[in-house]
Structures are given as C-alpha cells and as structure tokens.
A and B are shown apart, each in its own frame.
Chain A
Amino acid sequence: MTAAAREEILRRIRAAAVPPAPEPPRHYLRHAPGVPDEDRPAVLALFAERLEEYGAEVLRADRPGPAVARALAEHGARSLVVPDGLPAEWTADWDGEVRTDRPPLGKAGLDATDAVLTGCAAAVADSGTLVLDGGPAQGRRAATLLPDLHVCVVRAEQVRSALPGALARLDPARPLTFVSGPSATADIEMIRVKGVHGPRRLAVVLLD
C-alpha cells in the first residue's frame, strides 16, 4: 500500500511541473548584529546577557568546580545525575549525592533526581542557546530533561556569535537539543510562564 502511495505521490509531484527555482541568496549576517565572532569579550557578554534575559543564571568562572557547587547549593539540590565520563573536577567542590548515569537510571530514577550537570557541544550568544549532542560530558537526552535543575558548563571557545557559526560545528547525525533558556509557555493569554515540563531552572557556568 505504501509503495503504491509513494509512486502516486511522486507522480503527482512530477505532474505539478514546478519550474526550476534560482539559487537562494544568502545575504544575511553570520554573526549577531554588531558582534563578530572575533570579538570574544563581546560574544561572551552577549551570551550572558541573553541567558539572563531568559531567566537563566550565569556564573562566570575560571574553574568549574566551585561555580558548579555554588549553582547546585543555591537551588538547594541534594542529588545530581551526571553523564558517564564527566570530568571529576566539575563535582569536586560539591558534597551532595552524585549519581552517574551508568548503568542508565530509569525514568523514575531521573525524575527523582534534583539536578543534572553536563557540558555542551556548542553555544550561541545571539539567542542565549546551549546545544547538547550526546557527546563527551553530555550524556543521553532523558538525563537533561527530567531533573528540575540543569547546570551546564560552557567553555568560552564553544560560544559562537550567532546560529550559523554553531550549526556548522554540529553533527546532524547525532540527536541534538538546542536549549534557549528554561522551559516556558505562552499558551495562556500569550503571557510567558517559566517552567513547564523541561527543567524549570537553568544555570550556566561559563568558563572564561
């Protein structure tokens, strides 16, 4: 049935005889307005500003351990899930319970954990976006979804000024999650409410 449907749809498309289209122009900016990628202080300042506008917390630090511990403590987290292979120094300054996601915690286990700590694959200053790709220090998607606090460590060189720069560095074969601030909804009278299903709190440790 689906084979017949496939043939029929493709036949209809051919019958529509759409004329060839010209090559698309690409005259848009490849960086945030006024913030070229080379201007690193401006890129990082914009990234922090945009995250904070969303209600995410930004901790700028030169070492991850103390900042991570501060973020977790501020939000009263007592349990933390971390992906397998996360650098030990990231949690070295925190005295709560660390649960490594190996073997994988069940959904209920993740749901019952206060926080998750990860790195990221890339970040975008213009939109205050973190991108997770399941690579080193990031783990599987469910782990960054069910705990209510997400603490994400971003290295300065991972932050691109705008989306085009980040997309070019990502591998679409991997499952990607672009996070731009905490979960939110505007479904009730178009009023933005922070925190629905995803983590309601997001803290970013930005390593300069």
Chain B
Amino acid sequence: MTRSFLGWPAFPEAAEREVGNEQLRENVRRATRTIRGKRAVLAAERPDWEQLRDSAAAIKDQVLAGLEQYLLQVEEKVTAAGGTVHWARDAAEANRIVTDLVLATGEREIVKVKSMLTEEIGLDAALEAAGINARETDLAAAIVQLGDDLPSHVVVPALHRNRSEIRDIFAREMGRHGRPAPEGLTDDPAELAEAARLHLREKFLGARVAVSGANFVVAETGTLVVVESEGNGRMCLTLADTLISVVGIEKTVPTWADLEVFLQLLARNATGERMAPYTSTWTGTTHGDGPRDFHLVLVDNGRTRALADPVGRQALRCIRCGACMNTCPVYERTGGHAYGSVYPGPIGAILNPLLKGLDDEQTASLPYASTLCGACNEVCPVRIRFTDVLLDLRAQVADGGKHPVERAALGAVGATMARPLLWKAAVKGAGLVGPLLPARTPVPGWSDNRALPDVPKESFRTWWKRNEGERA
C-alpha cells in the first residue's frame, strides 16, 4: 500500500489537525530553526549574495522565455550523447513510459534517487501496480517509504519525524524489505545512518535499474545534474546498467556556465553548506563508466499551465531548496502534510494551484494558507515574489466564485465603504461597532483564542467633529 495525498482535506482542516500534534510541531520547529540558522550564516558569508540571486532569477526567466528552444536543444544533445529522450504530457503518461522502460529490462526491483517529481506523479505506486518494487535510497525518502508515510518537505521529506520515531520505523520495517536493522538499534543519528547504509548497500550492489530526477539540465550540452549529500545518488547514477531520469521541463538552464550561479546558491540556501557533498553531472552515456542505457523523460504535468500564468510563472524558477518552507511561520506550525501535496510551504501554496488549477477545494484553499508576512520572499534564491503570486491566485479564486458567501459579505461592506454617507452612518450608528465587526458576538475563528477589543465610546470621526467644532 502506498499512501497518497489523494482526497486530502482543504488546508484549514488539515492544518488544524496537524497543529494539534505537539510532537510534530516540536519536530518541525526544531528542524526548521536549525536549518534556518545555518542558512543565514552561509548566505551572509557571501558579499555578492544579492547579485547571485539577481542572476539566478534572470537566468530562469530566460529559460521560461525560451523554453521550447532549450528543450529541443536538450533533446538534440542528449540524443547525440547516446541517451533517449521521452516526452510526457502528464503524470499517467510519465508513469507509463517509466514502467514500460523498467519492464523491458526484466528487472523487478529497482533503486531510486530522491526526486520530488516522481513523488508528484506517484511513480512508486504506478511501478508497484506493475509488479516493480522501487526502493528509495535517500535516507529521508527511505524513512518515508519504510514508514508508509508521506513526504513533508522538499529537501528532507522526513523532516516531521524525530530520531526515536525513525528508530522505531527502522527496527520494525527494514527486515520486511531486506537486511534488518541491527539488534539493539538506538536513536543516535549516526547509528541510524549506519543502519540505512547497511540496509541499502545490498540494494545498490544488486540493482541494475535506477530512477532519478535532476536538479538541472543544461541545454547547451545536454548535461544532467544531481545534487545530493549521502552518496546514494552516486550509487544509483553510477552502478546501474539502465538509468531513467524523470525531469520537469522547467529544470533547464541555458549554459554550462550558468551552473556556477545555481550550484553556489543551492546548498547554501537548502542545507546551509557551501556545496552539497556530492554533485554529479553526466551527458548521455560514457563507455566503460556508469549506465549503458540512459533515458530522459521530460515531464509537463501542469508546468505549461503555470507557464501561461503571467504572474504565477515565476514559480517555475524554483530550484527546490526548501528555504521558503524553512522560514515560513505557517509551515513551522503545521508541517508539510497540511498542504496536501509533495510541495508544501509557500512554494506549495502557489505551485500546486498553478500546476493543477483552482477547481477543487483543497487546491483553492492553498493561496490562503499564508499570512502574507513575506518572509519567504526574502530567502528565495530565485527571487520568487510569493506574496504577489498568492494575491494573484486569491484574485483568481475570488473571480472563479469559489467563495460566494464571502464575496457577498465583502461586497456589501465594500459598497458601504465606498458611499461616504452610508459609511458614516455605519460608523456612528448605535449598536454598530462598524461594518468590520457587525455585532459584539463572538466571531468564529477569532474568538477561539483571542478577546475582541473593547468598543470605544465614540469613533474618531465623531471626536474630530466635536474637536474641530471646539477649535473653530
């Protein structure tokens, strides 16, 4: 059984449930604060940090403006270097392509490098349905998979789990999928990492097919780039005979030199490191080194829909560093699952509606899952203006008539406010605090944990009139 976010409740409901989970809140708080601190130190280390961000944003805009040409270049270069390029319009098509490629190899157990796109399209479940067991090899992704859990963060999918929960998952589940966890496993992180090393070693050595994503695809050269920390990526990219990389079309960068911008930003912003321990790049196949067969699956799955949104398309600049969620006060209280998607936090609040549209209640609730505090704007390495996009998406929700009751109420208040006489009457009127608080009755939501302010004896405008009268 693979869990999924299908049928997930809208944000307010899901968030309320998660906020009530004290352990979860503590786990998320601790992890996000740790990483926030590390990031701040390493960003401050670069006097040219803002210039790097300027360049990164502009390069990604260049990609979006010339995407057709860059993708054709990718296709040409990868093909010339011995790879095969596939195109998938949506999740089902991408899953079918990958499943068919794996089935053709005859292998039934494969290894995977953590990839948010394959989570997005539900690849593991699709492979499972075809009798293929895809084992996650990133430590966090493996924790999620072994625990039959869902990812809650784009960089550290198991961020919502603490060490003792991870220990329990390893002790209980590893044996069912291969080498069991060592006897007497404690919750020491180093011991847990060692257990994962031993459990996965035999998978790496035995696997002949690997599936990966990519952080970047260089159009100029047809080069794919995977950034990782543990070495599980290198294992998959190097030891398998067949490598299938499933990549969103927005992952393109125009030139090899452009990597100097993104590789200097990514790890600093994502994990608070100058570079991640391992960055692997490859172009097609290389005789005598690594996979003999290489397939690149270019996936749309809503990206062209986002591309057509003049304000929202900037979300496609995202390089999945996770800094926006690490810094988000809402994410810190809810964790990632509340967003009902593999993309949580501020990027999830904008990217999911842009990829999927606003037709269902869950997705339409996401642009409202923010106080518009703007902390995410400040840490984004590609300068996504989250608050601009959130506001624009809210306007799309409102225009789509998703909140007819609210619209009627706000419309009525607005009509009063725009008519001076009505507004004055409303402010002065006895028993009316003003159109803002229609009555001194508890306001749902507000009054749960806040007192309402005392109602003043007179409004400002009444005072002004009296005061001015006295002065005159």
The answer to whether A and B touch directly, with their CB atoms under 8 angstroms apart, is: yes
- Which residues of A approach B to under 8 Å, CB–CB? 1-3, 5-6, 8-10, 12-29, 33, 50, 54, 104, 107-108, 111, 124, 126-129, 134, 140-142, 145, 162-164, 167-168, 172-191, 193-199
Please indicate the chain B residues that have their CB under 8 angstroms from the CB of A178 in the complex: 263, 275, 278-281
For B38, B48, B52, B275, which residue has the most chain A Cβ atoms within 10 angstroms? Answer: B275
Q: Among B72, B189, B274, B308, point to the contact of A16 (Cβ < 8 A).
A: B308
13 A–B contacts from the bound complex (CB under 8 Å): A10-B68, A18-B64, A21-B66, A24-B54, A25-B58, A28-B55, A29-B51, A33-B46, A183-B277, A188-B193, A190-B34, A195-B193, A195-B197
Please indicate the chain A residues that have their CB under 8 angstroms from the CB of B163 in the complex: 188-189
Known A140-B288, A145-B238, A186-B271; contact A9-B229, beta-carbon cutoff 8 A: no
User: For chain B residues 188-216, which have a beta carbon within 8 Å of chain A?
Assistant: 189-190, 192-194, 196-197, 200-201, 204-205
Please indicate the chain B residues that have their CB under 8 angstroms from the CB of A186 in the complex: 35, 156, 229, 271
Please indicate the chain B residues that have their CB under 8 angstroms from the CB of A54 in the complex: 277
Q: Are B289 and A177 in contact (CB under 8 A)?
A: no
Main secondary structure of the interface of A (DSSP, over half): loop
Q: Are B281 and A28 in contact (CB under 8 A)?
A: no
- Verify if B67 is at the interface (C-beta below 8 Å from A): yes
Q: Are A5 and B189 in contact (CB under 8 A)?
A: no
Compute how far the CA of A170 lies from the CA of B81 in the bound complex, rounded to whole angstroms: 17
Compute how far the CA of A181 lies from the CA of B142 in the bound complex, rounded to whole angstroms: 23
Q: Among B58, B194, B263, point to the contact of A21 (Cβ < 8 A).
A: B58
Q: Are B231 and A198 in contact (CB under 8 A)?
A: yes
Q: Are A197 and B197 in contact (CB under 8 A)?
A: yes
Q: Are A196 and B231 in contact (CB under 8 A)?
A: yes
Compute how far the CA of A33 lies from the CA of B290 in the bound complex, rounded to whole angstroms: 36
Count of A-B contacts judged by CB separation below 8 Å: 258
Please indicate the chain B residues that have their CB under 8 angstroms from the CB of A189 in the complex: 27, 30-31, 34, 162-163, 189
Known A12-B300, A172-B256; contact A185-B193, beta-carbon cutoff 8 A: yes
Q: Are B61 and A21 in contact (CB under 8 A)?
A: yes
Q: Are B274 and A128 in contact (CB under 8 A)?
A: yes
Please indicate the chain A residues that have their CB under 8 angstroms from the CB of B89 in the complex: 5, 8-9
Please indicate the chain A residues that have their CB under 8 angstroms from the CB of B249 in the complex: 9, 13
Q: Among B139, B260, B281, point to the contact of A176 (Cβ < 8 A).
A: B281
Please indicate the chain A residues that have their CB under 8 angstroms from the CB of B286 in the complex: 134, 174-175
Q: Are B231 and A18 in contact (CB under 8 A)?
A: no
Main secondary structure of the interface of B (DSSP, over half): helix
Compute how far the CA of A174 lies from the CA of B256 in the bound complex, rounded to whole angstroms: 13
Compute how far the CA of A179 lies from the CA of B275 in the bound complex, rounded to whole angstroms: 9
Which chain A residue shows the least CB distance to B206?
A107
Compute how far the CA of A188 lies from the CA of B158 in the bound complex, rounded to whole angstroms: 8
Q: A15-B308, A27-B55 are in contact. List 13 more A-B contacts (CB 8 A).
A: A5-B87, A17-B308, A18-B313, A23-B62, A28-B48, A54-B277, A142-B238, A145-B231, A172-B221, A180-B279, A183-B277, A189-B189, A199-B231
Q: Are B235 and A2 in contact (CB under 8 A)?
A: no
| Interface membership of chain B positions 278-309, coded 1 if the CB is closer than 8 angstroms to chain A and 0 otherwise | 11111100101110000000101000110110
User: For chain B residues 248-270, which have a beta carbon within 8 Å of chain A?
Assistant: 249, 256-257, 259-261, 263-264
Q: Are B278 and A142 in contact (CB under 8 A)?
A: no
Please indicate the chain B residues that have their CB under 8 angstroms from the CB of A191 in the complex: 34, 189
For B52, B66, B93, B189, which residue has the most chain A Cβ atoms within 10 angstroms? Answer: B189
Q: Are B67 and A179 in contact (CB under 8 A)?
A: no
Which chain B residue shows the least CB distance to A14?
B68
Q: Are B274 and A126 in contact (CB under 8 A)?
A: yes
Known A28-B261, A186-B156, A187-B139; contact A16-B93, beta-carbon cutoff 8 A: no
Q: Are A1 and B93 in contact (CB under 8 A)?
A: yes
For A142, A164, A198, A199, which residue has the most chain B Cβ atoms within 10 angstroms? Answer: A198
Please indicate the chain A residues that have their CB under 8 angstroms from the CB of B47 in the complex: 29, 33
Please indicate the chain B residues that have their CB under 8 angstroms from the CB of A9 in the complex: 71, 87, 89, 249, 298, 300, 304
Q: Are A141 and B290 in contact (CB under 8 A)?
A: yes
Please indicate the chain B residues that have their CB under 8 angstroms from the CB of A196 in the complex: 139, 193, 196-197, 229-232
Known A28-B51, A127-B275, A167-B260; contact A197-B204, beta-carbon cutoff 8 A: yes
Q: Are B88 and A175 in contact (CB under 8 A)?
A: no
Known A12-B304, A196-B139, A197-B197; contact A163-B289, beta-carbon cutoff 8 A: no
